[in-house]
Amino acid sequence: MHTLAMALPSGLSSIFDPAALLHGLGPATLGIVALIVFIESGLLFPFLPGDSLLFTAGLLHQQLNLALPVLIGVVALAAIAGDQVGYMLGRRFGRRWFKDDARILKTAYLVQTEEFFAKRGGAAIVLARFVPVVRTFAPLVAGIARYDYKKFTLWNVAGAVGWAGSVVLLGTWLGHFEFVAKNIDAIAILMVLVSVLPGVIGMLKSRRNARRAARNAADAAAGDNGVHAHQ
């Protein structure tokens, strides 16, 4: 536990360079990876690089002395636990935490996830696990909608196991290619960028929609004033 606490600050300082992060954690590697996955899944912090971290962990598992079954199992358990927490938060607190102008808990993110959930139903819980940002808010939306808890848990387990296994094994498989092995840092950084891109796009869309709504409201107000003036 002491090692984990000591490793956390230095590890998080390089969180957007997964290869450097993992190499620097030593014995705490598995615990920190699980913690990051749990936070991204359950504590409404969508910009942690979960995909890139798992991909890189799979890529470097031999150097890090991580057994693949243990790595996949621990990550899956962390993801399951995170989603269960997210579901309970949504069920208890609902939409009250979300604001249009919030930095992280934006109403636009919630609406985006609700639309995704409406289109896919229960399978959205599995599919959302593979979509950055959406996976953070999907369990919350399920809780807000009071989706059946047993069904949610079943879909959650399926999604977490599928996500953890596929992303880690993809990194392991690609690690056999010489080009990938020689460019681990660049590939890891690219994975981070891909992971956070949906969040950035969502934020830009939210700002654009807010500006458009403000313009429409201003135009409507001006039109009403013109009508009243002519009367």
Structure tokens at 97: 């935490």
CA-wise closest residue to 95 among 131, 137, 132: 137
User: What pLDDT, on the 0 to 100 scale, is given for residue 36?
Assistant: 87
pLDDT band for position 10 (cuts 50, 70, 90): very low
125 is a domain residue: yes
CA-wise closest residue to 110 among 145, 152, 140: 140
Which range marks the domain in which residue 94 is found? 2-218
Give the residue with greater pLDDT, 211 vs 144.
144
Least confident span in 15-19, 79-83, 119-123, 144-148: 15-19
User: What pLDDT, on the 0 to 100 scale, is given for residue 13?
Assistant: 46
Q: What is the C-alpha R_g of the chain? A: 21
223 is a domain residue: no
Burial zone of 192 (CB within 10 Å; 0-12 exposed, 13-18 middle, 19+ buried): buried
128 is a domain residue: yes
226 is a domain residue: no
Q: Please report, rounded to a whole number, the percentage of residues in the chain having pLDDT higher than 90.
A: 14
Number of domains in the chain: 1
Q: Which residues pair with 99 in a beta bridge?
A: 106
Give the residue with greater pLDDT, 136 vs 80.
80
pLDDT digits (tens, 9 = 90+) for 202-213: 656 666 776 776
